[in-house]
Amino acid sequence: MAFLEVKNVEKIFKDEKRGTELQALQNINFSIKENEFVCLLGGSGCGKSTLLNMIAGFEKPTSGEILMDGKKIEKMGADRGMVFQQPTLMPWLSVQKNISFHLKLKGLSLRQQKIEAQKYIDMVGLTGFEKHYPHELSGGMNQRVGIARALLQNPSLILMDEPFAALDPFTKAEMQEELVRIWQENKRTIIFVTHSIEEALILGTKIIVLSKRPGRVNKVIDLDMSRPRDTTSTVFNQYKREILDLIKENKDQTEPKRQIQII
Amino acid sequence: MKSFEKEKRKGGFYVNLAVRSKSLTIKVIVPVTVLVLWELLSRMGVISSALLPAPTRVIESLMDWIFGTTGVAETNSGQWLNDAGSSAIRVIAGYSLAVVSAVIVGIIIGWWKFAERLVEPTIQMLRPIPPVAWIPLAIIWFGIADKPAIFLVFLASFFPILINTIHGVKTVDKNLVRAGGMMGANQWHTLRYVILPAALPNILAGMRIGVGSAWMLTVTAEMVAVNSGLGYVLWDSYYFLRYDLVIASMVSIGFLGFTTDLALKKFMEAVLPWQRGASIESTQS
């Protein structure tokens, strides 16, 4: 049995006010094994964030179901951690308190929280910033806090929604390296949403390419490359070409909004 | 580098003093000019003392009211602390009641759509009724002395705190709620550890407005059937044609309002450390 199964998932957004509906996702089927690093790749509006939100439990599929370890996902839970596009840290808490928030909910003592948090603060390279507030840190540093927070929670599944999109290329490259290192050391299952082909190829063990709206699974590509990934190597660029061709094929296929269908 | 810094600090004291005096001058120049003009015109007889007593007269009475030295304030001589205390107790009582009830009701309305639909229309109908209009009912219900005054102060401070709390709760970033939920927070956790801290800046802003309204109602509230307090002295002095004491009590109320607001501001700064130093200006670097 696969670790995560997405079965016949569809998502339709209804706009009652305007009387239109939007099909975000259609006929999504795939499964993920434990310890995989899966990248959901697609352009803007293809529904990849929606799909991630449904796996996280923030939204429900219009039809179909998502199963984790055989159990249907119904709501948010501590077994699925998420790193958001915007750091989404609690602005009134220090770096350390933000990271150990999960433990605070569980009722651990302040001392315990501090000790645990320190491990992850060091892991993401933020030693010395424990008492700083989010507004005192740069975007990249805040993202690292978000990642540390997800790691401390130690969920079976880590979801990441374009976490590096707002970073400059230098920080991005650094963070990608860090992430792969952390994943290799701690072996978690990661689902990573991105619109960058390069990023997907650098990070993932498997890429699921989504088409334009309504998002459908275009292709599932298993990546057979050694790490660290060399962006100039032949095999890397072969995969890149494969994906670029795929995108060219699906160029003008966006479906417009339609009137609400009364079934 | 080091000698340059030392030089800056040497001339620094005098430069600092000059800068500080300059900024103090700007703050003070308008009220001082007004006071001087007022005094001059009163002495010249242009402003009749029956209409507006001179500032020196006001200060004289105020001093006697506080210290009880000259007897100029007649029955109020030396009573200031007593009067200020009575008013303050009423304000604190009414205000505390307002804070507790408005924050709780505000969170409930802001968080649960059902509660909003149920309760908000009624509240919006009650809000425009000025506290003064409640005086007859307040007396009938609560009798005479402190209770109706506390009730009026409560009414005045309740609504601003409520509105701001509702706004604060409603505008909590949805992603923060999601982040909390994703880390395992249940409803109670979310309310206590995410919603409340996130809405706190708005709640405190409402509280600041509320404390101002509370003091404003002192005059109205003490119009009827109390026998001590700053507002009481105001009305009593008016009946006895002692307009200097009227102004003295206005000044006292303003002063106490100012100090409570300052205290609240300091409290806000202590409780909202993540907003320290944050301002529009600081984003333009």
pLDDT tens for B69-78 read: 887 777 777 8
- Let me know: does B199 contact B272? Beta carbons within 8 Å: no
Given phi > 0 = left and psi -120 to 50 = alpha, else beta, which region is B68? Answer: left
Distance in Å, alpha carbon of A144 to nearest chain B alpha carbon = 15
CB contacts < 8 A, A to B, total 64
Distance in Å, alpha carbon of B190 to nearest chain A alpha carbon = 10
ipTM, two decimals, is 0.78
Answer yes or no: do B278 and A134 touch at CB < 8 A: no
Which residues from A are below 8 Å from B175, CB to CB?
Answer: 84, 86, 88
| pLDDT over 90 percentage in chain B | 39
CATH, domain range B79-284: 1.10.3720.10
Q: What is the pLDDT of residues B35-81, one digit of tens each?
A: 898 888 888 888 787 788 888 888 888 888 888 888 777 777 788 88
Q: What is the pLDDT of residues A117-138, one digit of tens each?
A: 998 898 888 899 999 999 999 8
What beta strand segments (E) does chain A contain?
4-15, 20-32, 37-41, 63-68, 71-72, 80-83, 157-161, 189-194, 206-210, 217-222, 258-259
Distance CA A149, CA A78 (A): 12
Q: What is the pLDDT of residues B180-203, one digit of tens each?
A: 988 888 889 999 999 999 999 999
Residue B152 has pLDDT above 60, yes or no: yes
C-alpha separations of B89 from B92, B96, B138, B181, B229 in Å: 5, 10, 18, 43, 10
Give the pLDDT of residue B105.
Answer: 94
Distance in Å, alpha carbon of A78 to nearest chain B alpha carbon = 5
Which of A44-53, B17-26, B99-108 is most confident?
B99-108
Which residues from A are below 8 Å from B268, CB to CB?
Answer: none
Answer yes or no: do B182 and A82 touch at CB < 8 A: yes
Give the pLDDT of residue A179.
Answer: 87
What the block records as the tokens of A187 is: 């072996």
Give the pLDDT of residue A254.
Answer: 61
Residue B1 has pLDDT above 50, yes or no: no
Q: What is the pLDDT of residues A173-209, one digit of tens each?
A: 888 888 888 888 888 899 999 989 999 999 989 999 9
Distance in Å, alpha carbon of A139 to nearest chain B alpha carbon = 14
Which of A56, A91, A101 is the closest to B274 by Cβ? A91
Q: What is the pLDDT of residues B221-261, one digit of tens each?
A: 887 767 788 888 888 889 888 898 899 999 999 999 999 99
Which residues from A are below 8 Å from B193, CB to CB?
Answer: 101, 104-105
Q: How confident is the model at residue B129 (pLDDT cuts 50, 70, 90)?
A: very high
- A106 to chain B: nearest residue by CA? B184
Q: What is the pLDDT of residues B137-146, one digit of tens each?
A: 988 998 877 8
**How confident is the prediction for chain B on average, in pLDDT?**
85
Residue B282 has pLDDT above 50, yes or no: no
Give the pLDDT of residue B74.
Answer: 76
Cβ-based interface (< 8 Å): residues of A facing B: 56-58, 75-78, 80-82, 84, 86, 88-92, 101-102, 104-106, 133-135, 149, 153
Domain ranges of chain B: 2-47, 79-284
Interface test with B, best of A79, A80, A90, A161 (most B CBs within 10 A): A90
Which of B181, B189, B197 is the closest to A92 by Cβ? B197
| pLDDT over 70 percentage in chain A | 94
Which stretches within chain B are classed as H helix? 2-43, 55-67, 80-111, 113-126, 135-142, 146-170, 174-182, 187-189, 196-221, 230-239, 243-271
Distance in Å, alpha carbon of B201 to nearest chain A alpha carbon = 10
What does pTM read for this prediction? Answer: 0.78
Give the pLDDT of residue B11.
Answer: 56
Answer yes or no: do B180 and A149 touch at CB < 8 A: no
Which residues from B are below 8 Å from A91, CB to CB?
Answer: 198, 274
Give the pLDDT of residue A166.
Answer: 77
Average pLDDT score over residue span A6-15: 88
- B194 to chain A: nearest residue by CA? A90
Which residues from B are below 8 Å from A76, CB to CB?
Answer: 178, 181-182
